[in-house]
Amino acid sequence: CGSDTSGEPPAGRPPLASPPDPGPPPNSDGLSADVRQDVARSTVRVTGIACGSTTEGSGFAVGGDLIATNAHVLVGLDTPTIELGDGTSLAGDIVAFNVIDDLALIRVHGADFEPLPLGPAGDGTVGAVFGWEPGPTVDPTPFRIDRPVTVRIEAVASDERIERRSWLLAARIEAGDSGAALIDPTGTVVGVAYATTTRGSSVAYAVRAERLEALIAEGLDADLVVPDC
């Protein structure tokens, strides 16, 4: 997840303009041990070979066999692999792909997930980003929503300039966090992480959960064609 403000960005991940400073991330995410455990069981790593290299991101269950992630994680990828916390790997099919909101849905063969609820948030909401940074398990990171913003950015796998309704976050988002759920203390998904301004920065962005709800409501397409690299 994230994009550097210098040099040429990878496909589908352009640099973002300098945002307001949201301040440091919170010291605590406010989640109970039970909520943390329940959410972790419904989060996954999304991997595959695309654009000549291995791609990795995060995802989370929105249905019994349905995973949400970022669209830019799946560019050039025909068949993503879904890795579970117990080490199991399952194959998936991409069934929804939105280049404006940078969101995608994957139907996972043989899965039986406990879906996470989606809901609203607001300025000052705190919680945890449930991302799969390099390592064997999910690694929650505290976040705080600073404010809603509309980001001018290139659409995924395109040079078309679009506007993306987002949350501006105080959070340290790292490689592998793309597609991670923003979880509030009730265990509700309030957004999907998609970028940081620079590596190591505490300024990050997430798509609002309402946009994911809209994508799910649009329906699924088993014959979807994903953009190439």
Q: What is the reported pLDDT for 14?
A: 39
pLDDT digits 0-9 by tens, 53-108: 889 999 999 999 999 999 999 999 989 999 999 999 999 999 999 999 999 999 99
Q: What percent of the chain has pLDDT over 90?
A: 74
What are the pLDDT digits (tens) for 192-208?
999 988 766 899 999 99
Q: pLDDT value at position 18?
A: 65
Best CA proximity match to 30, nearest among 178, 200, 190: 190
pLDDT averaged over the chain?
Answer: 89
pTM of structure:
0.90
DSSP line for 107-167? EETT----PPPB----TT-EEEEEE--SSSS-EEEEEEEEEEEEEEEEPTTS--EEEEEEE
Q: For 92-103, write each residue's pLDDT tens digit.
A: 999 999 999 999
Tokens of 181: 């759920």
Topology (CATH) of 43-115: Thrombin, subunit H (2.40.10)
